[in-house]
Amino acid sequence: MRHFTRNFGKVLLGAIFISGIGTLAQAKEMPSLPNAIKEKGEIRIGVKCDSPPFGATGTSGEPIGIEVEMAKKIGEFAFGAADKAVLSCVTSESRISSLNSGKVDLILATLGRFPAREEVIDFSNIYFWGTSNVLVPKDSPVQKLSDLENKSLLIVKGGSQIKWLKENIPGLSLLQLNTTADGVQALRQGRADGFVGDGGLIYTLAANYDDLRVVEEGLDLGVNGIGLRKNEPELKAFVNAVLDELRNEGFYQKVIPEFVKEPALAKVMEKGFLEQPPKL
């Protein structure tokens, strides 16, 4: 935290006042929030804490990542302050149940948008698209997806890739674990032939582990949206407006370099956040 001398107090107070006016004006221009959230004065958002660069646990124990910063911006647009977004870690398996049970108001947690999920929750507009990829040991004979026939893959419980894998790779067996960390540990222990996850996550893991590499061929083109409970049109309109503003103000160009240092991965992330997805 920066420390300012008393001589700068008036200047600082004036700057804060002006900044506050700008933030509040920005918030007033957005669609109205539901009364229940207005009355609480905060918005509860579930984020991933095991899926860098989208969401991870920082050295201080607090969530960090691109989606975490998006969640904070929702707090700013809603109530003028990032800390008005109350963040909690959710797993892939617990995301939807946390939302529908009322523990959180939104899910901003690498949530793939597809028909089966749209039957139980609503989604915002698409904010990211990409493929999933497979992580394998560096000396693995697996070079393309077809090489996984009759082999085994690790996947986080509730992972959106399960249906695609079962339909497209004959004889593949899947071992479902609770977290990404569990999956990486099991892969390095030789408990399966690979670990599958969102492309951004897989490329990040490969950059962090010298003994692992990415199978470049992507699978299961997917799009991510923010999850909402059914029949909350006011909140949906607000969230979609925030997503529009984030693109308009160049948010992603600023935040991606903060969490992505590998040039190849940065290109993948920029494409997914800034370009329109291919026709599905």
| Number of Cα atoms under 13 Å in the Cβ half of residue 147 | 12
* pLDDT given for residue 34 in this prediction: 96
pLDDT of residue 252: 98
49-97 pLDDT per residue, tens: 999 999 999 999 999 999 999 999 999 999 999 999 999 999 988 999 9
pLDDT of residue 120: 97
Question: Residue 133 forms beta bridges with which residues?
Answer: 197
The pLDDT of residue 74 is: 98
Share the mean pLDDT of the chain: 89
Report pLDDT for 267: 86
Q: In what order do the strands lie in the sheet with 227-228?
A: 85-89, 43-47, 106-108, 227-228, 122-123
- Residue 14 has a pLDDT of 41
Q: What is the pLDDT of residue 7?
A: 41
The segments of the chain whose pLDDT lies below 70 read 1-28, 280
pLDDT in tens, 192-206: 999 999 888 898 899
CA torsion through residues 194, 198, 200, 201, sign: negative
Give me the helices (H) in the chain, please.
9-28, 35-40, 66-79, 95-100, 115-118, 162-168, 180-188, 199-208, 233-248, 251-259, 263-274
